[in-house]
Amino acid sequence: MVTNVETRLLGRNVSFSVSEPWLAYWLVIMRFAVGWWMLHAGLDKFLAWPFDAGWFVGGAAAGTSLAPLVTLFSEGAGLAFVNVMVPLGQTLIGLGLVLGALTRLAAFFGAMLMAFFYFINGETGGWAHGVVTGELLGLLIFAMIATLGAGRVLGIDAVLARMDLFDEHPKLRWLIG
Amino acid sequence: MNEFTAADRVAAYVGGGLVLLGVFGIGLLEIIAGSPHPVTGEGQIVHEALIPLDIRSYIIILGLLVWTGYAVYKVVATTPATERAGRV
């Protein structure tokens, strides 16, 4: 089963063939890989509770490009919020991707989280291993999943997509894969 | 044939262009015109950057913000009418 893609990119006609089963296969492999990455990171923090992100949002982030935003959360209620939201967010993003549930929403927040990790870890380390890091690749995979939507491949979004709620509210359809 | 809309083009070309400029374009410039890039025993690259690293970060951040704006636009601009017409 091969689909022929015909479109235009940068003003030029583009035509190529894609194997449908391999496309579905790679979408779900990517989803599981980055999903487990996040789920593991989130569960680890819950299992070793309490989690304190102070060293990151208050220490490491200071002096980086994202400092004006991130250091707002470096103490008090902001830090308490981050201490819960990082592990909870990672767990939910991971679950969303592994289960294929609200896949686009999960991938969007995965990309957002990766952007914080990418710039803060990269800049504090002086980009010593170059600017293409695991976090940038993670960010791009999340963006790819959010763009293509992969939740309907062996995922719960296939069930959600048939619900009346998503028929009646087309905006919500952007949250699922 | 399914083609990009105007909003798709902005996200794809402006957003993607800025990300690729920051990651790839400036990287290539550093290799061609920058100072030598000795690699330490721990695999770390030590060199003076031709383009300040914070400028490089801001270029990539700007590209990511264009992509984010596009994602939000896709959700907000979708209505039953636009969806029927396939305009978003």
Look at residue B86 in the predicted model and tell me its pLDDT: 58
Where does the pLDDT of residue B85 fall: very low under 50, low under 70, confident under 90, or very high at 90 and above?
A: low
What is the number of structural domains in chain B?
A: 1
Inter-chain touch A7–B1, beta carbons under 8 Å: yes
A73 contacts A81 by C-beta, under 8 angstroms:
yes
Structural domain including B22 reads 6-76
pLDDT tens-digit map of A61-92: 888 988 888 888 888 898 999 999 999 999 99
Is A119 or B46 the better-scoring residue by pLDDT? A119
Q: Which residue has the tokens 């790819």?
A: A144
Amino acid in the structure at residue B88: V
Using the predicted structure, report yes or no on whether residue B39 has a pLDDT greater than 90. no
* ipTM of the complex, rounded to two decimals: 0.82
Token pair in block for residue B52: 């300040």
Span B65-83, average pLDDT = 87
Residue B1 resides in a domain: no
Residue A68 resides in a domain: yes
Span A131-150, average pLDDT = 93
Where does the pLDDT of residue A33 fall: very low under 50, low under 70, confident under 90, or very high at 90 and above?
A: very high
Span A121-148, average pLDDT = 91
What is the number of structural domains in chain A?
A: 1
Residue A61 resides in a domain: yes
Residue A2 resides in a domain: no
Using the predicted structure, report yes or no on whether residue B41 has a pLDDT greater than 80. no
Span A84-102, average pLDDT = 95
Inter-chain touch B23–A131, beta carbons under 8 Å: yes
Look at residue B43 in the predicted model and tell me its pLDDT: 72
Residue B45 resides in a domain: yes
Residue B86 resides in a domain: no
Structural domain including A107 reads 24-175
Residue B88 resides in a domain: no
Number of CB pairs < 8 Å for A and B? 60
Residue A77 resides in a domain: yes
Residue A6 resides in a domain: no
Residue B32 resides in a domain: yes
Residue A36 resides in a domain: yes
Nearest-by-CA chain A residue for B46: A128
Residue A49 resides in a domain: yes
Residue A8 resides in a domain: no
Q: Coil, strand, or helix at residue A108? A: helix
Which CA distances in Å does B82 have to A80, A149, A170, B76, B87? Answer: 41, 20, 10, 11, 5
